[in-house]
Amino acid sequence: MPITYLEAIREAQAKLLADDPRVFIYGQDVGFFGGAFKATKGLAKEFPGRVLDSPISEDAQIGLAIGAAIEGMRPIIEIQFADFSTCGLNQIINHAATMFWRTNTKCPITVRLPCGGTAGAGPFHSQSMEALYAHYPGLIVLNPATVEDAYSMLIAAVHIDDPVIFCEHKYLYYHLKAEALPTEALPVGKARVARAGRDATIVAYSAMVHEALACAEELAQDGWQIEVVDLRSVKPLDTDTILGSVARTGRLLVVGEAFPWGGVTAEVVARVATEGFGLLDAPPVRLNAKDTPVPYHPNLWGTHRPTARAIIGAMRELLHA
Amino acid sequence: MLQTSDVALAEPKNDGRREHYLGAFRSMLLARVFEEKLASLYRGGKVIGGVFLSKGQEALSASLAAALRKGDIYAPLIRDTAGRFAFGETLLDAARTCIGSRLGPMRGRDGNVHRGKPREGYYAMISHLGTMISTVAGGLIARRFRGVTGVVGATCIGEGGTSTGSFHEGMNMAAVEKLPLVVVVANNQYAYSTPTSRQYACADLVDRAIGYGVRGHKIDGTDPQVCFDVVGEAVARARAGEGPQMVVADLLRLVGHGEHDDAHYVNHALKVSPIGRDCLDVARAQITAAGWMNATQIDALRDQLQAEVESAFAVVLREPLPDPNLEDWCALSTKSLAEGNA
């Protein structure tokens, strides 16, 4: 029976709760209600007392997780929408992220951020926050693009002894299906070549991997072989896999759903420019969302974020550069 | 939500009153002589970064930590030198952090009041006020998951810190969970230079307790005996399962915000008012009146503590400082997931 990206996240949490008494879930509406997206459906009943509703207090949610982690627990915090994590930003970047370095005390918290745009969600329920968190030392930022990674990387995240920002894409929740849950996985920190090619490389992550794959599929009809690299984690960033791909293709397009200033796509281009300049046959290209808040209406939203069509346009220019 | 102190519930019992008082007094006095030495080193350029003293707040600070037990959680704030000593911090650890010794708990990576040993229940504050309330609550939630009972989590804040969203979120959440949390608010009349009239508009901060659904206690923070009795009662009530307790103490910060601050803005009328009393003077009077120690014995204790402080700094000032070449420059405990430092 096919399993969705969202169900994989639910199953990962069920496994974590079943396997490890240190794990608990704390978030808004996660208890009996099962979460705004049903990522914790049925878990409060299956694991009494371990899936707790929180007040609307992102700062205190993260603060609670930090204290529990100091005492040896493995808290999972669900932030209802990634956008609201700015209300808990201080506890994440100044407290959780500095804990180990300052005090030699591990802070193994997992913060689940339902991120990315969906049609009609608008400026405050659509953001991609990964660049913000990746900027700060002491955090790990994961961005699963597949059902398999959503499952295995969430389990890995809770086992990691450091604070993890787990960016799960809302657009993939229901759209993406796999035949079964994975039994093995690439380690966290390794990127994945999602499609092999020789003419150009697209580096993408999260939902943009699927837009990039659609681009590669269409251009294949014209004889182009486009390689797609799925970053899987933006911090750590697997520079070696990126450079290996660029060494094969000589051309680089980096696609992200976040805002254009700085960010993950800029970091990838900077690393390739500084560490692999000689591998490039053409200037590297970035494709991001537009530099405005995320719009509400689908007519605007569909143009605000990179789509397969936009990626194809950028790629055609790059191939002829 | 003013409550009178219920001495029957207070810890310690009346029979241990003298020992409890004198134990806390020792921490108060140690904090005072330690901070005087620190200020002197600061003026001599031996201290890197800021120096933030707690003169006038020693009794309140000590009263909380002295009521805690091994296994409790304590998250002190900026003016809690006395409480830190009462909780068991060593002079060496305190001095090492202020000087930046590589051998201290913070290893030169963080300094002054941001010190702690979280795994020992002694949490290390960050500068962002209010954040420690939910963090201590999290520590207590962990204890609850483990089935550990009879523990208390305690943290301190100033009246300025009560204006943060973090304070509000933490108090509310701890109340919802009915956690054994004690929050002591030192209303020292100024948040850096900002007077209370620009900080809050309620008649008294303790009135907020009822809004959070926690028990409020209001005290004169310059009176050590009152601090020991009422804060002790609050800790006992939390330990007995009565939920979060908020103690608001009126007192006056008798120094600048830091040693760089001459505090010229402090209203003179406050200095000569009852809250302008030095709690150490009050303690001295209470101790001698009770016949527990005479003035000569108190002076001798001060001399002894002074000597301990001098020895500690003599050791620490010869210790190795942080060395950038020995630093691993890695913020993650999972080294395999660390980024390079490009």
Asked if residue A247 has pLDDT above 70, the reply is: yes
Domain of B277: which CATH number? 3.40.50.970
Q: Apex CA A117: angle with CA A112 and CA A120, to 5°?
A: 125
What pLDDT score was predicted for residue B7? 40
Asked if the Cβ–Cβ distance from A67 to B170 is below 8 Å, we say: no
* Residue of A52, A64, A66 for testing the chain B interface, max B β-carbons within 10 Å: A64
* Residues 292-321, chain A, touching B (beta carbon < 8 A): none
Q: C-alpha distances in angstroms, A295 versus A122, A302, B212, B261?
A: 5, 9, 38, 49
Asked if residue B2 has pLDDT above 50, the reply is: no
* Residue of A102, A233, A271 for testing the chain B interface, max B β-carbons within 10 Å: A102
Please indicate if any CB of chain A lies within 8 Å of the CB of B339: yes
Asked if the Cβ–Cβ distance from A162 to B109 is below 8 Å, we say: no
CA-based max dimension of chain A: 60
How many Cβ contacts (< 8 angstroms) between chains A and B?
150
- Token digits for B74? 């304590």
Whole-complex ipTM: 0.96
Mean pLDDT score of chain B, rounded to an integer? 94
Lowest-pLDDT choice from A60-69, A83-92, B3-12, B255-264: B3-12
Query: For the segment B9-57, what is each residue's pLDDT rounded down to a tens digit?
Result: 444 445 699 999 999 999 999 999 999 999 999 999 999 889 999 999 9
Chain A residues within 8 A of B143 when measuring between CB atoms: 71
Asked if residue B4 has pLDDT above 70, the reply is: no
Mean pLDDT score of chain A, rounded to an integer? 97
What pLDDT score was predicted for residue B12? 47
Residue B176's φ and ψ, nearest 5 degrees, are: -60, -40
What pLDDT score was predicted for residue B333? 97
What pLDDT score was predicted for residue A188? 97
Query: For the segment B107-134, what is each residue's pLDDT rounded down to a tens digit?
Result: 999 999 999 999 999 999 999 999 999 9
At the topology level, CATH places domain A3-178 in Rossmann fold (3.40.50)
Query: For the segment A142-175, what is each residue's pLDDT rounded down to a tens digit?
Result: 999 999 999 999 999 999 999 999 999 999 999 9
CATH architecture, range A192-319: 3-Layer(aba) Sandwich (3.40)
Asked if residue B336 has pLDDT above 90, the reply is: yes
Collapsed DSSP state (helix, strand, coil) of residue B326: coil
What pLDDT score was predicted for residue B335? 95
Q: C-alpha distances in angstroms, A22 versus A8, A19, A93, B142, B219?
A: 21, 9, 23, 9, 40
What pLDDT score was predicted for residue A321? 84
Q: What does the CA dihedral B226, B227, B230, B235 come to, rounded to 10 degrees?
A: -160
What pLDDT score was predicted for residue A178? 96
Residue B88's φ and ψ, nearest 5 degrees, are: 115, 5
Q: Report residue B93 CA to chain centroid gap.
A: 16
What pLDDT score was predicted for residue B8? 41
Question: Residue A274, class by beta-carbon neighbours within 10 Å (0-12 exposed, 13-18 middle, 19+ buried)?
Answer: exposed
Q: Apex CA B11: angle with CA B8 and CA B16, to 5°?
A: 100
Asked if residue A280 has pLDDT above 70, the reply is: yes
Query: For the segment A59-69, what is each residue's pLDDT rounded down to a tens digit?
Result: 999 999 999 99
Q: Are A264 and A141 in contact (CB under 8 A)?
A: no
Domain count, chain B: 1
The beta strand positions in chain B, using DSSP E, are 73-75, 153-158, 181-187, 190-191, 194-195, 215-220, 245-250
* Residues 272-331, chain B, touching A (beta carbon < 8 A): 330-331
Residues 6+ away with beta carbon under 8 Å from B91: B30, B34, B85, B308, B309, B312
What pLDDT score was predicted for residue B14? 56
User: How far is B150 from chain A, CA to nearest CA, in Å?
Assistant: 16
Asked if residue B299 has pLDDT above 90, the reply is: yes
Collapsed DSSP state (helix, strand, coil) of residue B327: coil
Q: What is the mean pLDDT of residues A97-103?
A: 98
Strand-pairing partners, residue A286, are: A254
What pLDDT score was predicted for residue B10? 44
Residue B125 lies in a domain: yes
Residue B8 lies in a domain: no
Residue B278 lies in a domain: yes
Q: What is the mean pLDDT of residues B214-236?
A: 98
Amino acid letter at A293? P
What pLDDT score was predicted for residue B340? 72
**Minimal Cα distance from B170: which residue of A?**
A60
DSSP-derived secondary structure letter, A282: S
Residue B45 lies in a domain: yes
Cα atoms in the Cβ-side hemisphere of radius 13 Å centred on A294:
25
Residue B9 lies in a domain: no
Domain that holds residue B202: 14-337
Query: For the segment A3-62, what is each residue's pLDDT rounded down to a tens digit?
Result: 999 999 999 999 999 999 999 999 999 999 999 999 999 999 999 999 999 999 999 999
Collapsed DSSP state (helix, strand, coil) of residue A26: strand
* Residues 174-213, chain B, touching A (beta carbon < 8 A): 176
- Say which of A64, A137, A162 has its CB closest to residue B137: A64
**Minimal Cα distance from A95: which residue of B?**
B126
Query: For the segment B59-107, what is each residue's pLDDT rounded down to a tens digit?
Result: 999 999 999 999 999 999 999 999 999 999 999 999 999 999 999 999 9
DSSP-derived secondary structure letter, B119: G
What pLDDT score was predicted for residue B6? 44
Please indicate if any CB of chain A lies within 8 Å of the CB of B87: no
pTM of the model: 0.96
Residue (of B180, B173, B119) closest to B150 by Cα position: B180
Please indicate if any CB of chain B lies within 8 Å of the CB of A48: no
Residue B1 lies in a domain: no
Q: What is the mean pLDDT of residues B206-214?
A: 98
User: How far is B282 from chain A, CA to nearest CA, in Å?
Assistant: 37
